Amino acid sequence: MFSRSAIGIQTRVRLAFNTACLGALTLLAGCDPQDADVVESGAERVRTIGESASFRGINGILFGPDGDLYLTSVVTPAVARIDPESGEIIDNWGLDDGAQSPDDLAFGPDGSLYWTDISHGDVSMRTPAGENRVIASPGVGVNPITFSDDGRLFVSQCFMDTNLFELDPAGEQEPRLIRDDLGPGCGLNGMDWGSTDGRLYGPRWFHGEVVRVDVDSGEIETVASGFGVPAAVKFNSEGVLHVLDSLRGEVVRIGDDGSKEVVARVQPGLDNFAFDADDRLFISSFADGFIVEALSPEENRVVLEGGLNMPGGLALIGSGDAARLVVADFFALRRLDPATGDVMGVVRDVIGFSEIGTSMSVHATDEGHLVLSSWFDNAVRLWDPATDSLVQIFGELAAPIDAIQFEGNIVVSQWGAGNVISFSPDNPEERRVLAEGLSGPAGLTVANGVLYVADNLGGALLRIGDSGAEPVAEGLDQPEGLAAANGSIYVVEAGAGRVVEIDPASGESTTVTEGLELQVPPSGAFPNTMLFNGIATDGETAWVAGDAANTVYVIDLD
């Protein structure tokens, strides 16, 4: 089966684990360990909860000439080859192999593998001999990729730009622009070539439609519409068009007369799909990081397990048996049993169409709401976990990393502005700068009525007062999440893989635990805290997001 070491995640001791997790209904609930993993960290006993996905989101998938299933994962980052029957990872190429932020993939006529690096704007190839090189740089946002039957190569930008290009597979000619008016927000997403009519097919994410393009003239024609969020199209071996609807969590077959038939149902947050030589249908998820084979509209077979795949901020809500650990898991907000990691609820984001948006950090408010922050959306949200509904959104921020409630206001650390700001939910346009000139403002917390911020790049814990920020402790290794309890500030040092306890009066630091698998390297121009290492505590126990291990660490503070 799958080895975590293949994607840079160290294998930990695995106790009894329930692998019977088949079918759509089971998949919706998640597949949880009967007993949590246990790791030794010095004198402390540390365990992990929450089932870990194999990759940090799975994006493009495609069957190769060898019959194996290939995948891309932007955030891991990885281009991998897996056995579609067992899910075993056979090959895995990452940063050292030139896979910087791979979003989609295609095979050329000679068997070379091509992929798009969305955050970096490059298109790369790997020859059958194992040689890697960049063949074009059409710009950030380069996302879907496909070949025509006669070996012409096409890519489009989505989410960061909207252009459609033809590329030279050899990388000798400059990209040729086909269309620059397919937006807003996205050009085409997952594309395929129509062998019958010689046209390029692709979905328009924000338009709910599928179009075909004459790649020579640029002429465009709508062939199907009425989708929630069409994310990818593929033809099966009989030339029948299929469309993946990410918002509705289904794959739809399009008839010659335009009729629609749902052939697979999974859940929202799907990314792409692929047919094998026998037209077996496989589907990937960016929100949960799984791959399933659709056996029928009512049944799915798990190929790669999903679960926590980009855990960031953490918050405790409720008490007693109703206590929940909320995990900001980038494209999903998950509620876990804080003791067992059992999934008690999930709300998933589909870019541009979900109230929840993306979430990298989370904190509870006095009113029972949650404050969610997202540098990806440049927004902070107030969320009601009781009804799973949006209370209020605050946009036009500068890459917010963390946000909390303080003295009735919302306080935000802005990576893009190098500051910490405050505003009233009743008057969010009036923003006050509390601290500025920070190199990497990250985690926030409040202790005894005083506000603190971690400067991630500056390596410091700072106290924020009327005159700005002053250092409490320096020389920290990329501090991120903060939590206050027991008269101390608990700090996650992401660069060192440890948690320290700092006396806010003296600045004295004591190691609580170390050896944690933290800090996924940032992709492209994304913040250094791309996946936030959050921490929550009730004073007796601390929970820490282990982004590099796709897990949540539980630490006994006694």
CA-CA distance, 251 to 233, in Å (whole number)?
9
Q: How many CA atoms lie within 13 A of 279 on its CB side?
A: 11
Residue 209, pLDDT score: 98
Cα separation, 470 vs 505, in Å, equals 12
Sheet containing 379-384, strands listed edge to edge, beginning at the edge strand earlier in sequence: 361-364, 370-374, 379-384, 389-394
The tens place of each residue's pLDDT in the chain, 558 residues long, gives 223 222 222 222 222 222 223 233 333 333 333 344 544 444 358 999 999 999 999 999 999 999 999 999 999 999 999 999 999 999 999 999 999 999 999 999 999 999 999 999 999 999 999 999 999 999 999 999 999 999 999 999 999 999 999 999 999 999 999 999 999 999 999 999 999 999 999 999 999 999 999 999 999 999 999 999 999 999 999 999 999 999 999 999 999 999 999 999 999 999 999 999 999 999 999 999 999 999 999 999 999 999 999 999 999 999 999 999 999 999 999 999 999 999 999 999 999 999 999 999 999 999 999 999 999 999 999 999 999 999 999 999 999 999 999 999 999 999 999 999 999 999 999 999 999 999 999 999 999 999 999 999 999 999 999 999 999 999 999 999 999 999 999 999 999 999 999 999 999 999 999 999 999 999 888 999 999 999 999 999 999 999 999 999 999 998
CB 169 within 8 A of CB 153: yes
Residue 528 identity (one-letter amino acid):
N
Topology of the domain covering 32-52+308-438+510-556: Neuraminidase (2.120.10)
Structure tokens belonging to residue 377? 């959306």
Cis before 385? omega within 30: no
Q: What is the dihedral of CA 509, 515, 520, 522, to 10 degrees?
A: 40
Question: Of 3.30.1050.10, 3.40.50.300, 1.10.274.10, 2.120.10.30, which CATH number belongs to 95-266?
Answer: 2.120.10.30
pLDDT at 280: 99
Tokens of residue 491, six digits: 């700090």
CA dist 138 and 124 (Å) reads: 11
Alpha-carbon span 107 to 95, nearest angstrom:
20
15 vs 35: CA distance, rounded Å: 6
340: how many CB neighbours lie within 10 A of its CB? 16
Phi, psi of 75 (to 5 degrees): -85, -25
Q: How distant, in Å, are the alpha carbons of 404, 418, 502 from that of 496?
A: 25, 23, 16
Q: What's the distance, Cα to Cα, between the start and end of the chain in Å?
A: 37
Residues in the chain: 558
Beta bridge partners, 41, equal 44
Instruction: Report the alpha-carbon distance of residue 210 to residue 197 in Å, rounded.
Output: 15
Asked, colleague to colleague, whether 32-52+308-438+510-556 and 95-266 share their fold, the answer is yes
Instruction: Answer yes or no: are the C-beta atoms of 225 and 208 closer than 8 Å.
Output: yes
Amino acid at 520: V
- The residues spanned by each domain of the chain are 32-52+308-438+510-556, 95-266
Edge-to-edge strand ranges of the sheet holding 281-285: 270-275, 281-285, 291-296, 299-304
Torsion-angle region of residue 330: left (phi > 0), alpha (psi -120 to 50) or beta?
left
Which residue, 359, 363, 390, 392, is CA-closest to 377?
A: 359
